A and B are shown apart, each in its own frame.
Chain A
Amino acid sequence: MLLKKLTEAHGVSGNEKEVRNIIIEELKDYVDDIQIDRIGNVIVYKKGEIDTPRLMLAAHMDEVGLMITKIEDSGLLRFTCVGGIDQRILVSKPVLVGNKKINGVIGAKPFHLQKKSEWKKALDYKELYIDIGVSSKEEAEKLVKPGEYVSFSSNYTEFGDNLIKAKSLDDRVGCSILIDILKTKRKLSIYGVFTVMEEIGLVGAGPAAYRIEPDIGIVLEGTICSDVSGTEKHLQATELGKGPAISVMDRTTIFNQKLRSHLIEIANKNNIPYQLRKTTFGGNDSGKIHLSKAGSITATLSVPCRYIHSPISVMNKNDYTNTEKLLNLFIEDLEKGGFYSEL
């Protein structure tokens, strides 16, 4: 299954090669052109019969993770975080180190040796280390160098009522939907962009949008979902199983109202469940896309993901299907001259 392959691949920001290769392999027989631009984005062109509006669909390939900063004399590895990671989730996690994927675990001082006061506070990543099972710096250096990436080791698992547990659903779920969309034959030409380094500041999307100059940009994302206990109702961004989340505003974009209303109208007309993303925290590639050159109109469609940015993010398969369905209908509508010609 594609989503399994994508989420089990490693691609911490700046090291997206493995994910990139899967995407290219998946798409090479279905599209007209695939380029890797100078920053590492995969830019896919699927030619149709019509070219207006110029449509850019984007999903980011990278995931949050860690990077080795120092090898201690003991052979233990010190690290820093790449992208936004809740440090409290790090301790005791299995990880894979470097491109050789050396097995490691994130360790800390055992519970028994901690002072009572230490129990109460979360350990900072500076107090943690990665143990790759060697006993000296020399041995460790044969396997790993400072600057190498580390990602969580976490298998794709289906469980419960239509749910999926995996790492990096943010944003491999977007990549997977985008691959599906690009495999379908269409009347409208489409630029599909798989961006790099979104998690460290929307780095890849700017150069991609600069090259493509889209009229409309749609960003596919995995987004915050906090529909569980401990979050007040009005602060819950999205809910699992309630359909694609359509963004209103985040820290990088105020989304075009007409496009948002249009997507809602399509969803209503076709009985596709949807929700509005009820928070304005975070940002995504749209922030760069809509401000590139003379600007464009953008929307973000997201699959809600619980426990995002952790090794065990959780999503609902129905949300995936409905996100894809809504996007397909939107494209079909554009092909019939809807929305853009009415602006």
Chain B
Amino acid sequence: MSFNGDLLKKLVNAFGPSGDERQIAEVIEKEIVDYVDEVSYDSLGNLIARKKGNGKKIMLAAHMDQIGLLITDIDDKGFLRFTNIGGVSPYISLGQRVIFKNGVIGAIHMEPMDDYSKLKLENMYIDIGVSSKEDAEKLVSIGDSCVFKSQYYENEDYVISGYMDDRIGCYILIETIKSLKENINDLYFVFTSQEEVGLRGAKTSAYRIDPDFGVALDVTGSGDTPKAKRFAVGLGKGAAIKVKDQSIIVSPKVKEFMIKTAKDNNIPYQLEVLENGGTDSGAIHLTREGIPSGVISVPTRYVHSPNETISKNDVNNCINLLLKIINSEVDF
């Protein structure tokens, strides 16, 4: 399977912090609209694409929102104050560039500080290159959000870029949709909103769809960097099948089914036991009377930084595994 770098680049560069996902949704919709039977949006901004089938209802979720910053104040000199949307580290933010929906660029800096360990977002500001409040307000309003401006880079094996979380999951769903010749199951591909602030889009879309089985596609960490915390997931070792994280303990039946599918089809896989973090399946599996749910993860270095790094082979293995799973007979 070849790797569609152009598509991934388009996805990571589309604007879509939690709560403002319209732009990324439109990019995705354009990619998939010719390959699915129905496309719809709900009140939380989830993009729901259906590919009809006669079998079980399966919900596949990848979140299209990204972490970012929200402007809370503009001072007399035109400096912007902000708060975080999702998990944003002040240390990683310092010195980064941000970009707003309208293309305005800014630089994040901080008030003078002797002790960097005390760095907090509330002591930092964004400089958008203006000299007055009036000029700033022509470009940005309180309540606007922005995201880190990162640069996409790929070599033969790896991709380094911001916002692999979770545009790589969106990429996997899009490529899956495109390579699906026929499907036995009734498939709902959901590009969810507001995952980064608490799995919110997955909660409402899962309620609406009421699936028989749910699979989320998201990034996970990696334990293969210098002095990394012990974590048996590494880049290039295959699709990661989730065992547990803070939001879900995957049902043994689901886990065994996913492992068996990988083994039967010779798809490299690894098992993921994540101590921190959660993803959309955490919300899906608790919907209504409970929905059996699993997760396929892409091992990723430097999650929530502008240099999230992944292996192309892992991504292709995730797509292969997902294709096999959704065309299996599922019965839990």
In the complex, A242 has a CB within 8 A of chain B:
no
| CA distance in complex: A248, B75 (Å) | 18
Q: Which of B18, B43, B72, B194 contacts A294 (CB 8 A)?
A: B43
Interface size in chain B (residues, C-beta < 8 A): 24
Contact with A297, one of B20, B43, B83, B142 (Cβ below 8 angstroms): B43
**Contact in complex: A234, B194 (CB < 8 Å):** no
**Complex A-B, nearest 8 residue pairs according to Cβ-Cβ distance, in ascending order:** A254-B19, A295-B204, A234-B73, A234-B81, A294-B208, A248-B143, A295-B43, A295-B44
A260 touches B204 (CB 8 A): no
Closest partner residue, chain B, to A249 (CB atom):
B70
Q: Mark A228-248, 1 if CB is under 8 A from B, else 0.
A: 000001110000000000001
Chain B nearest CB, measured from A47 CB (Å): 24
B194-220: contact bitstring with A at CB < 8 Å (1 yes, 0 no)? 100100100111011000000000000
Within 8 Å by CB of B43, from A248, A254, A280, A296, lies A296
Report the minimum CB–CB distance from B2 to chain A (whole Å). Answer: 37
Whether A279 and B72, one on each chain, are in contact in the complex, defined by CB atoms closer than 8 angstroms, is yes
Q: Contact between A254 and B194 (Cβ–Cβ < 8 Å)?
A: yes
7 contacts between A and B (CB under 8 A): A234-B75, A254-B19, A260-B143, A279-B83, A290-B43, A291-B44, A295-B205
With a cutoff of 8 Å between Cβ atoms, the chain B residues found around residue A256 in the complex are 43
Known: A291-B44, A291-B203, A295-B203; 9 extra A-B contacts, CB below 8 A, are A234-B72, A234-B73, A249-B70, A254-B18, A255-B19, A256-B43, A291-B204, A293-B207, A297-B43
Binding site for B on A (CB under 8 A): 215, 233-235, 248-249, 254-257, 260, 276, 278-280, 290-291, 293-297
In the complex, A279→B81 CA distance in Å? 11
Give the docked Cα–Cα distance between A109 and B207 (Å): 55
Q: A130 CA to B83 CA in the complex, in Å?
A: 40
Residue of A nearest to B288 (CB): A293
Nearest neighbor of A295 in chain B, beta-carbon distance = B204
Is B85 in contact with chain A by the CB < 8 A criterion? yes
| Residues in A whose Cβ lies below 8 Å from that of B44 | 290-291, 295
Q: Nearest A residue to B73 by beta-carbon distance? A: A234
B72→A280 contact, CB < 8 A = yes
Q: Which residues of A contact B19 (CB under 8 A)?
A: 249, 254-255, 257
- The complex places the Cα of A256 from the Cα of B143 at a distance, in Å, of 11
Q: Is B42 an interface residue (CB 8 A)?
A: yes
Q: How far is the CB of B144 from chain A (nearest CB, A)?
A: 9
* 0/1 interface trace, chain B 98-121, chain A, CB 8 Å (1 if under): 000000000000000000000000
Q: Is B122 an interface residue (CB 8 A)?
A: yes
Residues of B within 8 A of A249 (CB): 19, 70, 83, 85, 143
CB distance from B228 to the nearest CB of A (A): 31
Which secondary structure dominates where chain A touches chain B? loop
Alpha-carbon distance between A290 and B201 when the two chains are bound, in angstroms: 10
A255 to B85, CA, bound (A): 13
Asked if B122 and A294 sit within 8 Å, CB to CB, the answer is no
Smallest CB gap from B83: residue in A? A280
CA distance A167 to B205 in the complex (A): 40
Q: Are B73 and A233 in contact (CB under 8 A)?
A: yes
B75 to A294, Cβ gap below 8 A? Answer: no
A276 lies within 8 A of B142 (CB)? yes
A257, A279, A291, A296: the one within 8 Å of B20 (CB): A257
Q: Which residues of A contact B43 (CB under 8 A)?
A: 215, 256, 290, 294-297
Distance to closest chain B CB from A232 (angstroms): 8
Chain A residues with CB below 8 A from B204, complex form: 291, 293-295
CA of A248 to CA of B73, assembled, Å: 12
Q: What are the residues of chain B within 8 A of A234 when measuring CB–CB?
A: 72-73, 75, 81, 122
Interface contact B200-A291, CB-CB below 8 Å: yes
Q: Which residue of B lies closest to A298 (CB)?
A: B43
B126-153: CB near A (< 8 Å → 1, else 0) gives 0000000000000000110000000000
Instruction: Say how far B133's CB is from chain A's closest CB, in angstroms.
Output: 12
B73 CB, nearest partner CB in chain A, Å = 4
Is there an interface contact between B72 and A278, defined as CB atoms closer than 8 Å?
A: yes
Bound Cα distance from A137 to B19, whole angstroms: 55
With A235-B122, A279-B72, A280-B72: A295-B18 Cβ-Cβ less than 8 Å = no
CA distance A180 to B267 in the complex (A): 64
In B191-248, the 8 Å CB interface with A consists of 194, 197, 200, 203-205, 207-208
How far is A280 from B208 in the complex, measured between Cα atoms in Å? 29
Interchain CA distance A73-B68 in the complex, whole Å? 56
- Candidates A215, A280, A293, A295; contact of B70 at CB < 8 Å: A280
Given A249-B19, A280-B83, A294 and B42 contact (CB-CB distance below 8 Å): yes
Shortest beta-carbon distance from A94 to chain B in Å: 36
